[in-house]
A and B are shown apart, each in its own frame.
Chain A
């Protein structure tokens, strides 16, 4: 690897001196070059300590007294140390000494603590605008009608008359099931008002149901088109039915394929 050779002049001497890696000195006339080299090293160190950029041609500049660069390195480290351990205030009674580095450490840790606290507070007091709503504004009704099949149910005449005990119990069961399902829906829950079983029919056993929702007047068109669209209300029901385990003996089992729904206008 060829090294870049630096040439510099010795004190007052016009002889050219070539140094390779600072180790060998060629054409040295009287030892002055060696002195110059030592100066060069010292100069370099003092520059490094001050944090300044080391000039490339520093060697050319040191045509000076060697005493100039005396002990600069030591004094620099020493000064920083001395300043850090400087006693800022002294209390005689408590025998405590507050030094500069203590204050610096304190300030830094304070900043970190403030950041952590503010982040914690921020996330704690953060209010999700989607979770706050005013139910008193929900006035406009939206209705859905539909039917589903109950394949595990054996039809009895009692079911036909809605006032009978059997059909009453069954209707209440389904109404609760529907209400639970829609109330727990993140998107539809707040608008849900009522689910009702209107009648049972024969054939395979069918149930006719009705869903009532209440929505605010403001932005009702968008709600009808998206959140309370037939697609949404229907599929929330449908995916609930698909999620249930098909149980042959469960009388309340609803056949997912048989689910029908329309919007009442």
Chain B
């Protein structure tokens, strides 16, 4: 009799641990599913700090069945995009873990892989509306359970960005925040705001563009639009079709990688409001006064610090540049050059900063800069890393003309100003730059200037 009791108890414990250990995973499909085509099935996977790695498949109707789901906590939805091969997105684990490190919240991964995995893109686009209706119903259920719409944040990638937009529109734009990571362009570009994501879909809409010339959306869609590297070609992405499938998706995919970097606090990228990428590279948009003491916004998860001023400005288009790999953020300096050459010189500048055994490089080569006698030429120098205390500095001037005689650039003064840290600019006087020859020197803290 006692043996039976023991066995029964053992059995119960085993069943308990088994059910507790069962994790619900993201739907893993393969190319054959995509070729045959899948019909829509929306699954909601819940992750909280209690089950960071082990997802729970949520019921769409009975929320009280999930004790981990706490409607008083903020809820973040993560919505993926088109899955032409049917495989689960590789970034899902990272994003949910990083979100949970940031805040005690409910992370709901919206798995609409059945529906997104289809070689026919138009079918997947059709399914975005149905997914959005499904999510709207779910969020209304959440409201009944005491969740507030303003504590909801939806992070949508590509097609997922538009799904977030549709959900937001269904809920009269009362959702707290929508983050769109390279919202999809094909089938959405040129449509009316009700057929895509737009600025009225949430109280705060922030949009990252990384592939506006192919899979992404070109026009601004949110309160703030970040155009990484101009939004077209991302550094480190293949430029020819010989690199295979990554040629198509690398730029588009980069949006998620950039966002993960900001979520992880790997580093912060300052963004600058500007009308065009060209003006931005020319250093014409370095003015951050409109944002007050906070300065220009920082790209990514923490842009909410600028929410009030951005809402006041209605829509802001911003630009920033990145490295080709993580850490993606670059360090911006303003470089002002005064020369005394009688003739006007044109060319490119390469600046290196040395300090703490590290070297940061900035190549200003988007166009030939013009150096006119006794006139200050302002250049925008973006370094691949931040050097805390600059000990030495190198300059190289090149004209890019192989057949012309080697000119010299005669500098009266250069001044290098860090655009993020409020520290004294660095100066150096009286430099002779021969073409393609690097000159290294020790910069001094600038004194007040009179020219």
Spell out A's residues near B (CB within 8 Å): 119, 122-123, 126, 128-130, 185-188, 222, 225-227, 229-232, 234-236, 238-239, 242-243
B450 at the interface (CB under 8 A from A): yes
Distance of A222 from chain B, by nearest CB (Å): 6
Q: Are B429 and A232 interface neighbours, CB within 8 A?
A: yes
Q: Are A238 and B444 interface neighbours, CB within 8 A?
A: yes
Number of A-B contacts defined by CB within 8 Å: 67
**Which residues of chain B are within 8 angstroms of A234 by Cβ–Cβ distance?**
447
Q: How far is the CA of A191 from the CA of B406 in the complex (A)?
A: 25
Q: Are B412 and A226 interface neighbours, CB within 8 A?
A: yes
Q: Which of B106-114, B207-215, B338-346 interfaces with chain A?
A: B338-346
Q: Are A229 and B450 interface neighbours, CB within 8 A?
A: yes
- Chain B, range 408-451, C-beta contacts under 8 Å to A: 408, 410, 412-413, 427-432, 441-442, 444, 447, 449-451
Q: How far is the CA of A231 from the CA of B451 in the complex (A)?
A: 8
Q: Are B427 and A235 interface neighbours, CB within 8 A?
A: yes
B259 at the interface (CB under 8 A from A): no
Q: How far is the CA of A12 from the CA of B338 in the complex (A)?
A: 84
Number of interface residues of B (CB under 8 A): 28
Q: How far is the CA of A188 from the CA of B405 in the complex (A)?
A: 25
**Which residues of chain B are within 8 angstroms of A242 by Cβ–Cβ distance?**
442, 444
Distance of B66 from chain A, by nearest CB (Å): 53
Distance of A22 from chain B, by nearest CB (Å): 31
Q: How far is the CA of A255 from the CA of B342 in the complex (A)?
A: 36
Q: Are B451 and A130 interface neighbours, CB within 8 A?
A: no
Q: How far is the CA of A18 from the CA of B338 in the complex (A)?
A: 76
Q: Which 3 A-B pairs have the closest CB atoms?
A: A126-B405, A123-B405, A186-B432
Q: How far is the CA of A123 from the CA of B412 in the complex (A)?
A: 25
B403 at the interface (CB under 8 A from A): yes
Q: Are A187 and B412 interface neighbours, CB within 8 A?
A: yes
Q: How far is the CA of A130 from the CA of B434 in the complex (A)?
A: 13
Q: Are A243 and B449 interface neighbours, CB within 8 A?
A: no
Q: Are A227 and B412 interface neighbours, CB within 8 A?
A: yes
Q: How far is the CA of A194 from the CA of B412 in the complex (A)?
A: 21
Distance of A6 from chain B, by nearest CB (Å): 31
**Which residues of chain B are within 8 angstroms of A239 by Cβ–Cβ distance?**
428-430, 441-442, 444
**Which residues of chain B are within 8 angstroms of A126 by Cβ–Cβ distance?**
405
Spell out B's residues near A (CB within 8 Å): 338, 340-343, 374, 403-408, 410, 412-413, 427-432, 441-442, 444, 447, 449-451
- Residue ID in chain B nearest A243 by CB atoms: B442
Q: How far is the CA of A185 from the CA of B430 in the complex (A)?
A: 7
Given A129-B343, A130-B410, A242-B442 in contact, is the A231-B430 Cβ separation under 8 Å? no
Query: B403, B408, B451: which contacts A128 (Cβ < 8 A)?
Result: B408
17 cross-chain CB contacts under 8 A: A119-B403, A129-B343, A186-B410, A187-B412, A188-B430, A222-B374, A226-B338, A227-B340, A229-B451, A231-B449, A232-B413, A235-B429, A235-B430, A239-B428, A239-B429, A239-B442, A242-B442
Distance of A199 from chain B, by nearest CB (Å): 26
**Which residues of chain B are within 8 angstroms of A186 by Cβ–Cβ distance?**
410, 430-432
Q: How far is the CA of A201 from the CA of B427 in the complex (A)?
A: 31
**Which residues of chain A are within 8 angstroms of B410 by Cβ–Cβ distance?**
130, 186-187
Distance of B410 from chain A, by nearest CB (Å): 6
Q: How far is the CA of A169 from the CA of B340 in the complex (A)?
A: 37
With A225-B451, A235-B429 known, 9 other A-B pairs at CB within 8 A are A128-B408, A130-B340, A130-B408, A185-B430, A226-B340, A235-B444, A239-B428, A239-B430, A243-B441
**Which residues of chain A are within 8 angstroms of B405 by Cβ–Cβ distance?**
122-123, 126
Q: How far is the CA of A126 from the CA of B435 in the complex (A)?
A: 15
**Which residues of chain B are within 8 angstroms of A230 by Cβ–Cβ distance?**
450
Q: How far is the CA of A119 from the CA of B401 in the complex (A)?
A: 12
**Which residues of chain A are within 8 angstroms of B341 by Cβ–Cβ distance?**
130
Q: How far is the CA of A187 from the CA of B342 in the complex (A)?
A: 12
Q: How far is the CA of A186 from the CA of B408 in the complex (A)?
A: 11
Q: How far is the CA of A229 from the CA of B431 in the complex (A)?
A: 16
**Which residues of chain A are within 8 angstroms of B403 by Cβ–Cβ distance?**
119
**Which residues of chain A are within 8 angstroms of B340 by Cβ–Cβ distance?**
130, 187, 226-227
Q: Are B374 and A232 interface neighbours, CB within 8 A?
A: no
Q: How far is the CA of A232 from the CA of B404 in the complex (A)?
A: 31
Q: How far is the CA of A61 from the CA of B371 in the complex (A)?
A: 65
Q: How far is the CA of A119 from the CA of B451 in the complex (A)?
A: 39
Q: Are A123 and B406 interface neighbours, CB within 8 A?
A: yes
Q: How far is the CA of A199 from the CA of B388 in the complex (A)?
A: 42
**Which among A128, A185, A230, A243 has the highest number of chain B CB atoms within 10 Å?**
A128
Q: How far is the CA of A188 from the CA of B340 in the complex (A)?
A: 11
Q: How far is the CA of A187 from the CA of B340 in the complex (A)?
A: 8
**Which residues of chain B are within 8 angstroms of A243 by Cβ–Cβ distance?**
441-442
**Which residues of chain B are within 8 angstroms of A122 by Cβ–Cβ distance?**
405
Q: How far is the CA of A233 from the CA of B450 in the complex (A)?
A: 12
Q: How far is the CA of A242 from the CA of B450 in the complex (A)?
A: 21
**Which residues of chain B are within 8 angstroms of A222 by Cβ–Cβ distance?**
374
Distance of A124 from chain B, by nearest CB (Å): 8
Distance of B76 from chain A, by nearest CB (Å): 48
Distance of A221 from chain B, by nearest CB (Å): 11
Q: How far is the CA of A231 from the CA of B429 in the complex (A)?
A: 9
Distance of B372 from chain A, by nearest CB (Å): 12
- Residue ID in chain A nearest B443 by CB atoms: A239
**Which residues of chain A are within 8 angstroms of B430 by Cβ–Cβ distance?**
185-188, 232, 235-236, 239
Q: How far is the CA of A235 from the CA of B342 in the complex (A)?
A: 22
- Residue ID in chain B nearest A119 by CB atoms: B403
- Residue ID in chain B nearest A241 by CB atoms: B444
**Which residues of chain B are within 8 angstroms of A130 by Cβ–Cβ distance?**
340-342, 408, 410
Q: How far is the CA of A238 from the CA of B446 in the complex (A)?
A: 11
Q: How far is the CA of A122 from the CA of B403 in the complex (A)?
A: 9
- Residue ID in chain A nearest B343 by CB atoms: A129
Q: Are B342 and A236 interface neighbours, CB within 8 A?
A: no
Q: How far is the CA of A230 from the CA of B407 in the complex (A)?
A: 28
